[in-house]
Amino acid sequence: MVLGALAFAWLILLCVQSDLTLLLKDYGLFTFLGIFGAIFANATGAGGGVVFVPFFNHLNFAPQAIVATSFGIQCCGMTAGAITWYLHATSEHARDPQWQVLGRGLAVVTPAALCGIWLAQYGGNAIPALSLLRGNLDHLHLGFGIFSIVLALAIYGSVALLNRTVTLTALSQADVFWLPVVGFVGGLITAWLSVGVGELVAVYLIIRGFNVTMSIALAVILSAVSVWAAIGFHLSVTQAVVWQVVLFAGAGAVLGGVIAKYLVLAFSPKHLKIFFGTWVLVLGVSGLPVY
Task: Assign 3-class secondary structure to 257-287.
Answer: HHHHHHHHHHCCHHHHHHHHHHHHHHHHHHH
pLDDT at residue number 11: 74
Q: Cα(97)–Cα(211) distance, rounded to whole angstroms?
A: 10
Spatial contact of 10 and 251, defined as CB atoms under 8 Å apart:
yes
Q: Cα(276)–Cα(262) distance, rounded to whole angstroms?
A: 16
- Render pLDDT for 169-228 as a digit per residue (tens, 0 to 9): 899 999 999 999 999 999 999 998 888 898 899 889 988 889 888 998 999 999 999 999
Residue 234: CB atoms within 10 A of its CB come to 21
In the chain, which residue ranges form alpha helices assigned H by DSSP? 2-15, 20-27, 30-44, 49-58, 63-92, 101-118, 124-126, 140-159, 173-193, 197-208, 212-233, 243-266, 269-287
- Higher-pLDDT residue of 138, 89: 89
Read off the pLDDT band of 232 (50, 70, 90): very high
- Higher-pLDDT residue of 87, 257: 87
Q: Cα(272)–Cα(284) distance, rounded to whole angstroms?
A: 18
Spatial contact of 92 and 164, defined as CB atoms under 8 Å apart:
no
Query: Which of 5-14, 233-242, 275-284 has the highest average model confidence (pLDDT)?
Result: 233-242
Q: Cα(103)–Cα(170) distance, rounded to whole angstroms?
A: 11
Name which of 2-6, 39-43, 75-79, 142-146 the model is least confident about.
2-6
- Render pLDDT for 246-265 as a digit per residue (tens, 0 to 9): 989 988 888 887 787 777 77
Read off the pLDDT band of 156 (50, 70, 90): confident
Name which of 135-139, 216-220, 248-252, 270-274 the model is least confident about.
135-139
pLDDT at residue number 183: 96
Q: What is the mean pLDDT of residues 217-241?
A: 94
Spatial contact of 225 and 8, defined as CB atoms under 8 Å apart:
no
Q: Cα(212)–Cα(198) distance, rounded to whole angstroms?
A: 13
CA dihedral angle for residue 74, residue 76, residue 82, residue 84, rounded to 10 degrees: -140
pLDDT at residue number 260: 75
Read off the pLDDT band of 65 (50, 70, 90): very high
Nearest alpha carbon to residue 80 among 262, 223, 263, 258? 258
pLDDT at residue number 148: 80
Q: Cα(245)–Cα(183) distance, rounded to whole angstroms?
A: 29
